Structure 1
């Protein structure tokens, strides 16, 4: 971690296309980075979001909270592509049956 407490390998890069944002996230999503993930997924004017979490290596309760907030903000239009670690955390948390959680791709 750097001096600000944020993982230097974390990134959340959003690309807007029409009214949808696709956010590619890498590294650890935790208390120090969950707000940055949320901010990247909520630019002005979007009504749907895809979170590509396939390169996420750590996912904690703050990250789960960010996902729940995004699901509430984008009902029916949130899509989450999990890494194996993210899927495991969501399975343990009882969230594996959420409609926004997609099957692993490749």
Structure 2
């Protein structure tokens, strides 16, 4: 029997496919992509030179970290929120990252 986490991952992958977005597990460095999923974590990192807001977007297959440079808070960017993002994939310490992505919040279900 599938666990709740497995069922949630399957549902996220299904909605990603329906939205026409690329699965996070398939994106590669340098690609301009559209990815959709649910935010797992949102962290504000105060730095003296440039504060950042970072969020982990999970689509059921993998995580893409979204990084907004110079931002402390963005309305609607909170854990559990579903959204679609567009941007260029970069790698940082082996993790997939999109800096300053264009994003669209999806309506809460």
For normalisation by structure 2, the TM-score amounts to 0.28
For normalisation by structure 1, the TM-score amounts to 0.29
Higher helix share: 1
Rg (Cα) greater in structure:
2
